[in-house]
Amino acid sequence: MTRIKEAVLTEWIGQILTGSGLDQEQAQMISEHLVLANLRGVDSHGISKIDVYCKRLEKGIVNKKLNFHITKETPVSALIDGENSMGISLATKGIKLAVQKAKEVGVGIVGISHSNHAGMLAAYTDYAAQHDCISIAVTNAPSVMAPWGGRTPFFGTNPISYSIPTGGEMNIVFDMATTTVAKGKIVLAEKENKSIPVGWAISKDGRETTDPKEALEGLLLPVGGPKGYGLSFLVETLSSLFTGAAYGPYIGSLFDDFEHEQNVGQFFFVMRADLFQELDVFKARVDQMAQEIKGIERMQGVDRIYLPGEIEFERTRELRQNGIPVSAQMLETLQAISDQLGIKTEQFSPVG
């Protein structure tokens, strides 16, 4: 692993995105998002997505322009038609609008249809927390998981994230796929020739597997069995049935379908954290509860209790200081895309 500083990697990814036809604003939003995912240790949704994004831009399956319009609006809500623009750009605009509405009227609800892959949801909920809001974000995704008891893919990895502002430096930012893991983690394991743990997936003939290739041809398992399936049902409903986006099997694949738009949906629910009690009273109560949780007696073999999102927060702090680990394989991919786009790479040197 080579380490590259955040600013250097963001600049490199940004240049690749402008080289692929995006304007400066979008290149900045997307490069910052992808690098933030790596900083948080969510490598599956970080710069590893750059090759598929570039391929989709090159093939013209995604709108290079950030065209979108609001189709229905009330003081508390807005429905955005994303016009097949880049998902991260749309979702970044969407959460900003939801926060703005929450600031004005207390609650902001934003749905997006005709969107694309929107990356790591924590980026959006963290933004809301930084603006003293409690938030929930969901997105649907192409089908890779059967409804509990079935063997045919129907729902996607359908992640859900929430954030809660605290009085400290770290906000609570929880973010999980409703499958045992995000599909990107299996794609990454395959790219890096690693096996995957039992419990993540089954092969297409219904066997448990540790081979990422078999898993990608087969099915992911819902987290917590029927409970993950139940949560995924909610995520799907809010992201698609509610917004008008495609659902489950009708969503275009990010990795395998280079002919049709994805028509993914996103949904954000944001409320001001001072809706019921004064902000400092609420935050002090969150801090109190967090402190009590961290102080409880631990299970055998556990040396520390983490708050939701704390592992990612600490990782971000460490990587901001020491640089972001980038695998040799990932470096090769970045170099190959840069060569293809005529981008000079000498300036993007590793740390040390």
Distance CA 273, CA 162 (A): 13
Binding residue for ligand NAD, selected from 6, 175, 214, 236, defined by CB under 6 A:
175
8 A C-beta contact, residue 151 and residue 225: no
CA geometry: angle 165, 171, 173, nearest 5 deg: 105
Q: Is the CB of residue 335 less than 8 Å from the CB of residue 13?
A: no
- DSSP β-ladder status, 77-81 and 107-115: parallel
- With binding defined as CB under 6 A, does residue 309 bind ligand NAD? yes
Residue 257: closest CA among 111, 79, 55, 90:
55
Q: Which of residues 4-43 bind ligand NAD (CB under 6 A)?
A: 42
**DSSP character for 208?**
B
Instruction: Among 18, 55, 107, 174, indicate the residue that binds ligand NAD (CB under 6 A).
Output: 174
Q: Taking CB under 6 A as the rule, does residue 171 contact ligand NAD?
A: no
Distance CA(59)–CA(164), nearest Å, equals: 40
Task: Decide: is 220 part of the binding site for ligand NAD (CB under 6 A).
Answer: no
Q: Which of residues 99-118 bind ligand NAD (CB under 6 A)?
A: 117-118
Q: Which two tokens stand for residue 39?
A: 């900083």
Q: Out of 5, 45, 131, 272, name the contact with ligand NAD by CB under 6 A.
A: 45
Distance in angstroms between the alpha carbons of the first and the last residue of the chain: 13
| Position 161 contacts ligand NAD (CB under 6 A) | yes
Q: Which of 50, 66, 122, 246 binds ligand NAD (CB under 6 A)?
A: 122
Number of residues that bind ligand NAD (CB under 6 A): 26
Asked if 49 interacts with ligand NAD (CB under 6 A), we say: no
Whose Cβ is closer to ligand NAD: residue 174's or residue 233's? Answer: 174
Candidate residues 159, 212, 222, 265; the one interacting with ligand NAD per rule CB under 6 A: 159
185 in Cβ contact with 195 (< 8 Å): no
Q: Which is nearer to ligand NAD, 17 or 118 (CB)?
A: 118
CA distance 315 to 42: 10
List 17, 36, 80, 176, residue binding ligand NAD (CB under 6 A): 176
Applying CB under 6 A, which residues contact ligand NAD?
42, 44-45, 117-122, 139, 141, 157, 159, 161, 174-177, 181-182, 185, 306, 308-309, 311-312
